[in-house]
């Protein structure tokens, strides 16, 4: 299986609205590993690894986010999986 890695920077109203927990639930449901982290500039950083199809579903879901979030933009950087994440965590 060809594992991929994706790094996402999510902009918009994404802090204080349950966005990281939404990321966690979605990623775990898709069998992905990685992390979701609030950054000081108001964005959320998501690193995820797994199958490309599952990662593309994650990106699609994160464009919508939870009910009170408002996503304006997502920067996407693809790479080969490193295997550094053993589970999905909220930082």
Mean pLDDT over each residue of the chain, to the nearest integer: 96
| Band of pLDDT at residue 38, cut at 50, 70 and 90 | very high
List all residues 6 or more positions away from 27 whose beta carbon is below 8 Å from its beta carbon.
33, 34, 36, 46, 48, 58, 88
Read off the pLDDT of each residue in 37-44 and give the average, rounded to a whole number. Answer: 98
Q: Which residues are catalytic?
A: 20, 38
Q: What's the CATH class of domain 3-90?
A: alpha beta
End-to-end CA distance of the chain: 28
Residue 2 has pLDDT above 80, yes or no: no
Q: pLDDT at residue 4 above 60?
A: yes
Average pLDDT over residues 64-88: 95
Q: How large a percentage of the chain has pLDDT more than 90?
A: 95
pLDDT given for residue 1 in this prediction: 55
């Amino acid at each position: 299986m060809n594992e991929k890695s994706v790094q996402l920077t999510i902009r918009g109203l994404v802090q204080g609205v349950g966005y990281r927990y939404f990321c966690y639930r979605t990623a775990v449901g898709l069998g992905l590993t990685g992390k979701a982290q609030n950054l000081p500039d108001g964005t959320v950083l998501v690193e995820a690894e797994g199958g490309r199809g599952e990662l593309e579903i994650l990106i699609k879901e994160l464009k919508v986010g939870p009910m009170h979030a408002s996503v304006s933009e997502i920067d996407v950087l693809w790479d080969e999986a490193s295997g550094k994440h053993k589970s999905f965590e909220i930082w």
